[in-house]
Structure 1
Amino acid sequence: MLTLIHQLTPAQVEQLHQMYLQEWWSKDRTLADVPTLLGNSDLLFGLWDAETHRLAGFCRVLTDWVYRAIVFDVIVAADYRGQGLGAQLVEHVTTHPRLAQVECIQLFCTPEMRPFYEKYGFGQAEQLLMVRPYG
């Protein structure tokens, strides 16, 4: 049975980092940066497997609590995939009482993930995204 957690222990931070290393979009993240990433996030959602002592899934949210919230890093450990954990994470975010009054919850996803997020009320934005790369 999985438990929803909102804080990570040092061991769970290491497990999250290991999950990051397995994905193309997060493989360059360092273990040293993960505590800073977590500390500067407004809400954390982890799925903890107490039986195996493993972090099975994770995502985080940054928000101003009024107009915008953005979901980052929806990730499920490879051996836990196919069990609906991504759906559980998204549902925890979209039903969180502190986010209920936020005008718009946003996220970035690849085109093949759009149908998954559309099931939870997300739609494609009409405006263009502008980015300023670092460096």
Structure 2
Amino acid sequence: MDYKIISALNERQFADLCELYRQEWWTNTRNPEDIAAMLEHTDIIIGICEDQTDRLIGFIRVLTDFVYKALIFDVIIHEAYQGKGLGRILLDQVTAHPKLQSVRHIELYCKPDKVAFYEKWGFTDQLGGIHFMRKTAQ
């Protein structure tokens, strides 16, 4: 499969991203207006597109201060392309990204069944007593 890596979305790819979000339980309630606002405030986006059709088939985004912390969000591959190594490509792109090379901690959160996948890039859930916490908007 021929693909290309992108760092910005055109209108068609934005629609493809909305479709990708609809396929996953953790993003299927996102609406286009909120997705557009989210993208405006995202520091780094990386997409994988089919080379011939320009269709977005994989996506990842990062929020960062470019010094201390970078937080990876929305590692997502179109269901028809899962199992083809595209998630690895996205993680390789993020971990090798020139703007993130001096960031002290690159972090993410995931379901327990994905821990082994992320460990391949040096991610660990052994954080020395640090706990992930969340406050949900009312």
Give the AA of the match of 1:84. G
Query: What is the aligned partner in structure 1 of residue 29 from structure 2?
Result: 28
CA displacement 1:34-87 (0-9 Å, x = unmatched): 111111000000001121331110000000000000000000001111110000
Where does the alignment leave 5 or more consecutive residues of structure 2 unmatched? none
- What residue number does 1:62 align with? 63
- What is the number of equivalent residue pairs in this alignment? 135
Give the percent of matched residue pairs that are identical in Structure 1 and Structure 2.
40
Partner of 2:49: 48
Give the stretch that moved more between structures: 71-80 or 120-129. 120-129
Q: Among residues 120, 128, 132, which one is paired with 2:131 in the alignment? A: 128
Q: Distance in 1 between matches of 2:72 and 2:113?
A: 17
Asked if structure 1 preserves the Cα contact closer than 8 Å seen for 2:12 and 2:55, the reply is no
Q: Structure 1 regions of 5+ residues with no counterpart?
A: none
TM-score (norm 2): 0.95
TM-score normalized with structure 1 length:
0.97
Aligned residue type for 1:99 = L
The alpha-carbon deviation at position 31 of structure 1 amounts to: 1.3
Q: Secondary structure at the match of 1:27?
A: coil
Report the equivalent of 2:96.
95
Give the aligned partner of residue 117 of structure 1.
118
Q: Cα deviations across residues 84-130 of structure 1 (Å, max 9, x unaligned)?
A: 00000000000111100000000010000000000011000331112
Tell me, yes or no, if the aligned pair for 2:4 and 2:49 is still in contact at 8 Å.
Answer: yes
